[in-house]
Amino acid sequence: MAETSVSTVVEQEKEEWFGKKERKLLIDPINNDNPVTVQVLGVCSALAVTTMVEPALIMAIAVTLVTGFSNLTISLLRKGIPKQIRMIVQLVVIAFLVTVVEQVLKAYNYEVWNKLSVFIGLIITNCIVMGRLEAYAMANKPWRSFLDGIGNGAGYGLILIIVAVIREITGKGAVMGLKIIGPSADYFIDTKTSALFGWYQPNGLMVLPASALFLVAIIIWIQRSRNQKLIDVS
């Protein structure tokens, strides 16, 4: 009876698409194992593309798609990849996916592609993408590898968007190009509120890459002060 129950549990775990382990792969990188604030990876692009929300959002989606599908592809091929050339194969897969993303973006949103063209190409060497292929996809099954990639891409994207929102509001008084605070703002809320924020002058420092470094550092400090287990990580 005991053997039967154990085998039944094992079969159920195999059949689960969103069990505890699968949910952990998606949730952990967003908070307790965030690739930017905990693993301290992909910081360069976080400094460069977060001046405005729109390019940061597109960059987040691009990295998430590339990380997810590169993990899936490498996991499917892992048993047939010789160890001596595994990193070359990984780079080829990433480069193909990045090229697809870049060409789609160029076709449908040329203006944003023009701003991000250099950084889209640099996804190929993003530590997060290569790190997940080496640390997870090369040793795990396709579905969980895909979830791991999506989770880490989402965690990276979340930090990008948070930093971009703060920088665009404080540096330009706007979000997604819509003026919200500061003089001559197109207010769509209560007039008292508009008067309250009318004194604010956009801070040019927040448009510079250095401000993103400060913001990421503050996010890391807040996260680790709330979760003592992360103090000695990385």
Instruction: Give pLDDT tens digits for 9-58.
Output: 444 555 578 888 899 999 999 988 999 999 888 888 788 888 889 889 99
Q: In which domain, by residue range, is 56 found? A: 18-220
Position 190 confidence tier, pLDDT thresholds 50, 70, 90: very low
In a domain, 57, yes or no: yes
- Distance (Å, whole) CA 183 – CA 198: 5
In a domain, 209, yes or no: yes
In a domain, 69, yes or no: yes
- Specify the residue for token string 């002058």: 201
Position 7 confidence tier, pLDDT thresholds 50, 70, 90: low
Contact 201, 208 (CB under 8 A): no
Average pLDDT over residues 205-215: 89
Q: Which of 119, 204, 217 is nearest to 167 (CA)?
A: 204
User: For the chain, what is the domain count?
Assistant: 1
In a domain, 155, yes or no: yes
Contact 155, 29 (CB under 8 A): yes
Q: Which of 81, 59, 80 is nearest to 128 (CA)?
A: 59
Contact 129, 70 (CB under 8 A): yes
In a domain, 11, yes or no: no
- Cite the DSSP H helix spans in the chain: 2-15, 20-27, 43-48, 53-77, 86-108, 110-121, 127-132, 142-172, 191-197, 209-226
In a domain, 12, yes or no: no
Q: Quickly count: other Cβ atoms within 10 Å of residue 208's Cβ.
A: 14
Q: Which of 23, 132, 154 is nearest to 78 (CA)?
A: 132
In a domain, 4, yes or no: no
In a domain, 225, yes or no: no
Q: Which of 70-74, 128-132, 168-172, 190-194 has the lowest mean pLDDT?
A: 190-194
Residue 82, both tokens: 């010789």
